[in-house]
Amino acid sequence: MKKATTTGKAIMILTIIGLFICTTHAQNQKQLWGVAFGGQNDAGIIFKTDASGNNEMVKYNFVEPGGDPYGSLMLASDGNLYGMTYYGANGPGNLFQYDPRTWTYTIKYDFDFADGRYPYGSLIQATDGNLYGMATAGGTSATNDNGVLFKFNPQTSIFTKLFDLDGATTGSTPCGALMQATDGMLYGMTYQGGANNMGVLFQFNPGNNTFTVKVHFDGEAKGQNPYGSLIQATDGKLYGMTKSGGLNAYGVLFQFNPQTGNFTKLLDFDMVTTGGNPDGSLIQASDGKFYGLTEAGGAHSLGVLFQFDPVTSTFINKFDFDDSPNGSSPYGSLMQAYDGNLYGLTNMGGASGGPISQGVLFQYNPATSVYTKKLDFIGTNGRNPQYTNLVEIPVTIATSSIGSIDCVGSSLGVPFTIEGAYDAGNVFTAQLSDASGSFAAPLTIGTLTSPFVGTINAVIPSNIAQGNGYRIRVIGSNPVVTGSDNGSDITINALPNVNTTLSKFTITADQNGAGYQWLNCNTGNSVISGATEQSYTATANGSYAVVVTMNGNGCSDTSSCVIINKIGIDEIVTNNQYTIYPNPSKDYITIFVPEKAIIEILNIQGLIIKTINNNDIKTKIDIRNLVSGVYIIRAKTNNEIVTMSFIKE
């Protein structure tokens, strides 16, 4: 049995997409997503193309059990795609979730007999946030195998069966999708059952679970056996098609007024001129016209793409499918993409033609009436799309709020969110605007090589001007997407002046009106306790720096290290009574002093490395263990301190 997806669903999906786009800011890319049979395991695939139907990529290969997707994907408000398969872990199908942002497939519910089985159709998201759908068969007991209505909460993953179809009274074998009308009610159709066993059109109240049959299909007058779904047009009325019945037995196109309950047949398909046996649903395009597909009929008896004007009831055959090269037997429905074109799938036909052909993806321009085949399904990339339509999802980047950035040279994490799928090799790049918020010449401040969302480690350049109108945005490379900025101005302050001035042994920071902390560079920039003034006077030879912190914005920077190496040397005096020889020396020096003294040997940094208590005017000192360099001799007598220097070779 053939089952159909719906344009009623497609319109609901487009509405959801529109709302979703409005909340995600960046809107400059789109992708088309769909399902088909075939693939690596011949159990079906999830695939995507670019916005124009090119560059197909298989994103997931279904694995048995849990394959054969007959219906369509739908984009929910949480950014995930949802759908159903005909088979599942328990046998009769499952409800799944696919996250295009993380490439993650998750089975959310396995159907069993009591809660329904073998779903052909698709899901919708209603205004209460729940997903609603129908299973083609199953129900409470083996004697009630007529299908069910259900809801699924995507937030809690709770599945709830809402209604068991009973066949004769409420219909059986629903093949399409539900749709929610402006009155808040859900409407749908069954393929069989009802008073004439030709299907029914029904209303379901999700608030109180009340099911009401509105129309019993009857064959010639109203058509019979609808596969597809209903849509609500801009005039508030519901429109749909039946696969068979009518004057010619090839199906009808009809209108239903949910306010009055009036049913009006608008067209009898005749197979030759108008095509016949439509499986899918109508869509209302931006020109106000309805567009649809028939499985059969037309010039080649392989189906047609048609336009129907609901105001004048004018039918126009826009394209006859021809098997090769343009495909044949379209089972599903069309969708109108952001570019204004219609996109669809055929079950058969393509480049090879004949029984081995496996369908195509096509584009139709309603403004120019130009049909373009975009790809041939060959098995590995999918085959024989069933009662399905494509869905369009936005591919966006939204840069999240950035905390306060006070200083140039600051490190920060740039968080962002994405919608849609990014491919292998993608690079997310964080960009900084100029001080007025313009990205005419953006600066790259960090990158993340990944197809998945994350946080970019970035650094504000140290050479930019301070300002209070900076913005940050993230862009992607595969596909190329320019994201929205962070949404508010960022103030970036200049770093303080960390130049210093040296006067003898005193170092002064040139920046006035700031906080200061002096450091000892020789000991790993350790803090010098109490040294928090603008100037610092060294008491020993060494290397010193200062951390300058601006009052008000807290921006800080560290100066270069300043070397002081003349403490002691600048105090050397010439006195003939004090001598050192030989100078330079390799092993020993002899010091002459006029009286008893304490003799200290200091290195060039001013550290005492040796002390000798001298009781004679002549003292010989072993310097063999000293490294080569300049040393200071400090002789302390009762009357004076004399400083001399020598060189150790």
The DSSP letter of residue 66 is S
Q: Of the candidates 407, 562, 395, which has an alpha carbon nearest to the alpha carbon of residue 470?
A: 407
- Could you say which DSSP state residue 168 is in? T
Q: Answer for the pair 226, 220: CB distance below 8 angstroms, yes or no.
A: no
The residue length of the chain stands at 649
pLDDT at residue 8, rounded to an integer: 35
Q: Give per-residue pLDDT as tens, 225-270.
A: 999 999 999 999 999 999 999 999 999 999 999 999 999 999 999 9
Which DSSP state fits 289? -
CA-nearest of 297, 319, 321, 292 to 308 is 292
Mean pLDDT of the chain: 90
Residue 51 burial by Cβ neighbours in a 10 Å radius (0-12, 13-18, 19+): buried
How confident is the model over 454-481, as pLDDT tens digits?
999 999 998 899 899 999 999 999 999 9
Position 90: which residue type? N
pLDDT at 209 over 90: yes
Q: Which two tokens stand for residue 358?
A: 């496996």
Measured CA to CA in angstroms, residue 133 lies from 200, 483, 502 at distances of 16, 35, 81
In contact, 255 and 280? CB cutoff 8 Å: no
Least confident piece of the model among 68-82, 139-153, 485-499? 139-153
pLDDT digits (tens, 9 = 90+) for 121-142: 999 999 999 999 999 999 985 5
**Per-residue DSSP letter, 424:** T
Per DSSP, the three-state class of 19 is: helix
Mean pLDDT of 628-639: 84
Residue 291 CA to residue 253 CA, distance in Å, equals: 11
Nearest Cα residue to 67 out of 90, 94, 47, 40: 94
Find the Cα–Cα–Cα–Cα dihedral 243, 244, 248, 252, rounded to 10°. -50
In the predicted structure, residue 411 carries a pLDDT above the cut 80: yes
d(CA 4, CA 225): 11
Element containing residue 398 per DSSP (H, E):
strand 396-399
Least trusted range by pLDDT, from 182-196, 271-285, 490-504 = 490-504
For residue 578, the one-letter residue type is Y
Give residue 568's Cα distance to chain centre: 66
Q: How far apart are CA 621 and CA 602, in angstroms?
A: 14
In angstroms, the first-to-last Cα distance of the chain is: 103
Which residue bears the tokens 């790259």?
444
Global confidence as pTM? 0.80
Q: What is the DSSP letter of 379?
A: B
Largest interatomic CA distance in the chain? 137
Please state, in angstroms and rounded to a whole number, the distance separating the CA atoms of residues 421 and 59. 9
**Structure tokens, 189:** 């159709």
* 38 neighbors 262 (Cβ within 8 angstroms): no
Is the Cβ–Cβ distance between 508 and 421 less than 8 Å?
no
Q: How far apart are CA 496 and CA 515, in angstroms?
A: 10
Helices (H), 213-351: none
Contacts of residue 18, defined as CB under 8 A and 6 or more positions apart, other chains included, come to none
So what's the pLDDT on residue 434?
Answer: 95
Instruction: Tell me how many helices (H) and strands (E) the chain has.
Output: 1, 52
pLDDT tier, 13 (very low <50, low <70, confident <90, very high otherwise) = very low
Cα 171 from chain centroid?
42
Cβ(133)–Cβ(152) under 8 Å? yes
Q: Closest by alpha carbon to 267, among 322, 307, 300? A: 307
